[in-house]
A and B are shown apart, each in its own frame.
Chain A
Amino acid sequence: MSIKVRYFASLKESVGRAEDNLECAGLATVGDVWRFANPDKALPDNSLAAVNMDYVDVSSAVKDGDEVAFFPPVTGG
């Protein structure tokens, strides 16, 4: 399966990249995607996640072609 992963703001800086294009098998959830892309780094507790630009929990399912995003709490406005 192909998953595009995007990182924003301070999380982008701490992982050292803006995105990953994963070609992988056996990833069931958003949490699995994080662990596959960042095996040596735990997802910070306050992080938010989105699949195809909608907010989700890390336990949410992912499928082929999804865009998964991880980022810190938002600070706009």
Chain B
Amino acid sequence: MAIKIYAEPFDPWQEIQAHQHSATELAGKFGATNIFIGTMRDFNEGDDVLGMTLEHYPGMTEKQLEKIVTEAMRQWPVIDALVVHRVGDILPNEPIVLVAVWTSHRGDAFDASRYIMEALKSRAPFWKKELLKSQTERWLVKNTDGYL
């Protein structure tokens, strides 16, 4: 399991490749990799968005993400998982979050990564503040339920 918080832009594809190459226990064992990448849009709730600042609670963020991934590993036979999340100033088109899960079979990969992503959305202590084209700032109030 690897949890990474970056204050600078990251390339999710490089992260996946680097993790897969360094995780020797994966070789020959995984048959399925499920990948979720969340990317910043230039619109939200009907407004044009110029950028965003992502605040987090250092220490608690990592602790909660580790807990979430551990829960997923208990529930599904996950061989390995990688979670990467941006903080700081973010521009549209930059990746915000990456969840990658390696399992033997596809069903577990889909289910475990969905679980990690939805739990991250409701429990990992990050907060987004948007800068709108109108030059006003606003905090996002709540994440929507991804299952609705």
Binding site for B on A (CB under 8 A): 6, 8-10, 46, 50, 53-55, 69, 71-77
Contacts and interface: CB of A to CB of B under 8 A. Distances in A.
Interface string B89-102: 00000001100000
B88 interface: no
B126 A54 contact: no
A32 B37 CA distance: 41
B55 to A, nearest CB: 5
Interface of B: 38, 54-57, 59-60, 63-64, 85, 96-97, 117, 120-129, 139-143
Contact of B120 (A8, A53, A77): A77
A71 B128 CA distance: 13
A50 B61 CA distance: 12
13 contacts: A6-B57, A9-B55, A9-B127, A53-B63, A71-B127, A73-B143, A75-B141, A75-B142, A76-B96, A76-B124, A77-B38, A77-B124, A77-B126
A53 to B, nearest CB: 4
Contact of A69 (B60, B85, B123, B126): B60
Nearest to A69: B57
Interface hub of A9, A53, A69, A77 (most chain B Cβ within 10 A): A77
B123 A9 contact: no
Nearest to A55: B123
A50 B60 CA distance: 9
Given A9-B55, A10-B127, A75 B140 contact: yes
Contact of A74 (B96, B125, B129): B125
B57 A10 contact: no
